[in-house]
Amino acid sequence: MDLGLDVDLFYGVRVAEKYDLGGGYFIAPFDEFCDYIEPRWFKDRAPDQVKARDLELFFGIAAPFRWKPELRHVHAPLRDRRPRGVPLLFHRVAAEFAELLSVVLECPITWVYDFPCVVSKTSLQLLGQHHGPGSARAGEFVGNFRDPFRKQSPASPDRVRHAVELFSKKSKTNYATIAPLIHRLAEAQRTFGRFAKEDRILDLAIIFERYFPEEKTYKKELSRNVSSLLGASNEENAQIGEDIDRFYRTRNAIVHGGKSKGDAELLKEIDQALENGFKYARALLLNSIS
């Protein structure tokens, strides 16, 4: 009755259950918020087909608070709805975890809506109060990210828990330094199907280059640095070095216009370069905060 929520709503992953994030936060599927948030409140962010078929791809990151129920005029604002002790940087923290989850799950996630200080419909009906979105703030239109032919399985609980674990110990790791690169990688994942493959290659190259800011990022040095951090054997080091070398030669072919015959051949294999770029960038960043 007296429980309210601050909720940031996201789209892109089937979160099957509720997870505690610590610090007063939790992540949960949309079903968990049905008594607080009505789908019609964010219909301007999703096409009709999404509402009918893909509501399960919405999830929320929320912080609960207590409020004191009272009988008031139907349009009077609720008082003292924000709890003492709720983190002040709620939206920043929610966005950071969503980006980390996107990288761990290898899946694009987009922010849909911010619903501050929502109270359950059941509570307001008992008090004779109007149930509405209040000062909600709209995010991106999810139709840009929806694939009607994709049948997405629920997110692996083990991988979600891994993201929660990484996030919970961020104060003890190199997270603050790596967070901007996680943001860029999450953004690169979100551009799938909307931006050219060449643009995504350049985004990934920037991640590698910023990870080694004190090194000259020629392909030979980059290959050696990445393979030495990720390889578990001489064979793995050699394979990773070869993959990164080819990735960076593809990047150079894009930058220089792909005019030579060799560059044109490299650009024919851009899909493989993208796959390797995402794989090694993801591994590099997650290993750095583990």
pLDDT tens readout for residues 106-143: 999 999 989 888 888 877 767 666 677 777 778 877 76
Query: Does 61 reside within a domain?
Result: yes
Residues 50 and 91 in one domain: yes
Domain boundary among 129, 163, 197: 163
The residue among 163, 186, 210 that closes a domain is 163
Cβ neighbour number for residue 220 with a 10 Å cutoff: 13
Q: What is the mean pLDDT of residues 151-173?
A: 90
> Are 106 and 226 part of one and the same domain?
no
The answer to the question of residue 204 being in a domain is yes
Banded pLDDT at 252 (limits 50, 70, 90): confident
Q: What is the pLDDT of residue 207?
A: 93
Residues 119 and 83 in one domain: yes
- What pLDDT sits at residue 120? 83
How many Cβ atoms sit within 10 Å of the Cβ of residue 5?
21
188 shares a domain with 154: no
Q: Is residue 169 part of a domain?
A: no
Q: What is the pLDDT of residues 168-193, one digit of tens each?
A: 999 999 999 999 999 999 999 987 65
Q: State whether 105 and 233 are in the same domain.
A: no
- The verdict on 87 and 153 lying in the same domain is yes
Give me the mean pLDDT over the 31-58 stretch. 77
Q: Are 153 and 97 part of one and the same domain?
A: yes
Q: Report the number of distinct structural domains present in the chain.
A: 2
Helix (H, G, I), strand (E, B) or coil at 4: strand
Q: How confident is the model at residue 72 (pLDDT cuts 50, 70, 90)?
A: low
In-domain check, residue 121: yes
Overall size of the chain counted in residues: 290
Contact 248, 205 (CB under 8 A): yes
The alpha helices in 27-156, defined as continuous H runs, are: 48-53, 90-105, 121-127
Residue range(s) defining the domain that contains residue 254: 174-288
Q: Are residues 182 and 154 both part of a single domain?
A: no
Q: Within a 10 A sphere around the Cβ of 260, how many other Cβ atoms?
A: 11
Summarize the confidence of residues 9-14 as an average pLDDT.
91
The answer to whether 223 and 212 are in contact (CB under 8 A) is no
Whether 78 is in a domain gets the answer: yes
Buried b (16+ CB within 10 A) or exposed e, 96-132: bbbbbbbbbbebbbbbbbbbbbbbbbebbeebebebe
